[in-house]
């Protein structure tokens, strides 16, 4: 019964009728035949009933273990991410502390340079105010 | 029982059935999806319905599990689509 020609025309017609795939004229013709033919009505009912039984197919239940392991993986991943963020923050904090001595040294050097520069400027400024003979004496020294 | 019956169908019948029943596709859409003619889809779904009826008949009658039934396969539809 696997020959294409062996497909029963009435089965095909009834299937198309049940699937709403007939045009108005074809549908009316089938309805007329159904009204007159009890066997055809029986055939239609059986095809429809078998089709309706498909509604009893349960939704595929999700395996409990699968759900559990998936949730555990998610939790593990979240915990890992949280730890990474924490470590990164600590790293930034420690890095800043590690840079402290350098900052202190740079600040000290800047302060020293400022004080020294100011002293030289004051010295030069004051020297220009000295009497000429004293200024020349100073420059000779 | 119903699941066993569906699994017993030929693959192409099962696909067509799924697209029609559960995805609500029209014959034309199924034909486009499966690369077949509408006529072949019509035949395929007819076979699927008839085979399903044969497989589930005992279950429908007396609640017995589906028995081994010689089913129509869909070799013809395969040829039709090529």
Mean pLDDT calculated for residue range B19-45 = 94
Does the distance separating the beta carbons of A46 and B27 come in below 8 Å? no
CA distance A111 to A109: 5
Q: Residue B82 — very low, low, confident or very high, per pLDDT cuts 50/70/90?
A: very low
Residue in B52, B55, B75 closest to A51 by CB: B52
**Percent of chain A beyond pLDDT 70?**
59
Residue in A2, A5, A15 closest to B49 by CB: A15
Mean pLDDT calculated for residue range B51-57 = 88
Q: Residue A105 — very low, low, confident or very high, per pLDDT cuts 50/70/90?
A: confident
Does the distance separating the beta carbons of B72 and A51 come in below 8 Å? no
Q: How far B63 CA sits from the closest chain A CA (Å)?
A: 12
Q: What pLDDT, on a 0 to 100 scale, did the predictor assign at position B76?
A: 45
Q: What pLDDT, on a 0 to 100 scale, did the predictor assign at position A136?
A: 54
Q: What pLDDT, on a 0 to 100 scale, did the predictor assign at position A123?
A: 74
Q: How far A12 CA sits from the closest chain B CA (Å)?
A: 5
Long-range CB pairs of B53-60 (<8 Å, 24+ gap) are B53/A46, B53/A47, B53/A49, B53/A50, B55/A50, B55/B4, B55/B5, B55/B8, B55/B9, B56/A50, B56/A53, B56/B1, B56/B2, B56/B5, B57/A46, B57/A50, B59/A53, B59/B1, B59/B2, B59/B5, B60/A46, B60/A49, B60/A50, B60/A53
A23 interfaces chain B, CB cutoff of 8 Å:
no
Total-model pTM: 0.55
Q: Which of A6-15, A31-40, A93-102, B17-26 has the lowest mean pLDDT?
A: A93-102
Whether A2 shows a pLDDT value over 50: the answer reads no
Question: How distant, in Å, are the alpha carbons of A51, A53, B10 from that of B6?
Answer: 10, 11, 9
B27 interfaces chain A, CB cutoff of 8 Å:
yes
Question: How distant, in Å, are the alpha carbons of A95, A101, A120, A137, A138 from that of A133?
Answer: 59, 49, 21, 6, 9
Q: Is residue B28 within 8 Å of residue B38, measured between CB atoms?
A: yes
Q: How far A91 CA sits from the closest chain B CA (Å)?
A: 54
Does the distance separating the beta carbons of B17 and A21 come in below 8 Å? no
Q: Which of A95-99, A132-136, B16-20 has the lowest mean pLDDT?
A: A132-136
| ipTM reported for the complex, 2 dp | 0.77
More confident position, B5 or B31:
B31
CA distance B28 to B37: 8
Q: What pLDDT, on a 0 to 100 scale, did the predictor assign at position A103?
A: 80
Model pLDDT for residues A46-101, shown as the tens digit of each residue = 999 888 888 876 655 445 555 565 556 666 666 777 777 766 666 666 666 667 77
A–B: how many Cβ contacts below 8 A? Answer: 76
Q: How far A14 CA sits from the closest chain B CA (Å)?
A: 8
Does the distance separating the beta carbons of A4 and B72 come in below 8 Å? no
Whether A35 shows a pLDDT value over 90: the answer reads yes
């Amino acid at each position: 019964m696997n020959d294409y020609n062996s497909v029963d025309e009435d089965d095909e017609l009834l299937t198309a009728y049940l699937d709403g795939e007939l045009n108005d004229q074809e549908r009316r013709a089938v309805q007329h035949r159904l009204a007159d033919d009890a066997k055809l009505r029986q055939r239609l009912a059986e095809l429809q009933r078998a089709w309706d039984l498909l509604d009893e197919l349960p939704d595929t239940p999700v395996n409990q273990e699968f759900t559990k392991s998936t949730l555990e993986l998610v939790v593990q991943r979240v915990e890992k991410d949280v730890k990474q963020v924490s470590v990164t923050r600590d790293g930034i904090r420690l890095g800043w502390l590690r840079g402290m001595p350098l900052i202190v040294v740079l600040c000290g050097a800047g302060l020293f340079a400022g004080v020294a520069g100011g002293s030289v400027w004051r010295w030069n400024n004051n020297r220009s105010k000295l009497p000429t003979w004293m200024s020349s004496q100073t420059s000779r020294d | 029982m119903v699941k066993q019956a569906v699994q017993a169908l030929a693959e192409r019948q099962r696909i067509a059935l799924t697209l029609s029943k559960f995805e609500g596709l029209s014959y034309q859409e199924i034909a486009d999806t499966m690369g077949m003619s509408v006529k072949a889809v019509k035949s395929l779904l007819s076979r699927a319905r008839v085979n399903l009826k044969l497989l589930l008949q005992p279950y429908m009658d007396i609640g017995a599990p589906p028995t081994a039934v010689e089913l129509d396969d869909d070799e013809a539809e395969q040829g039709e689509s090529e």
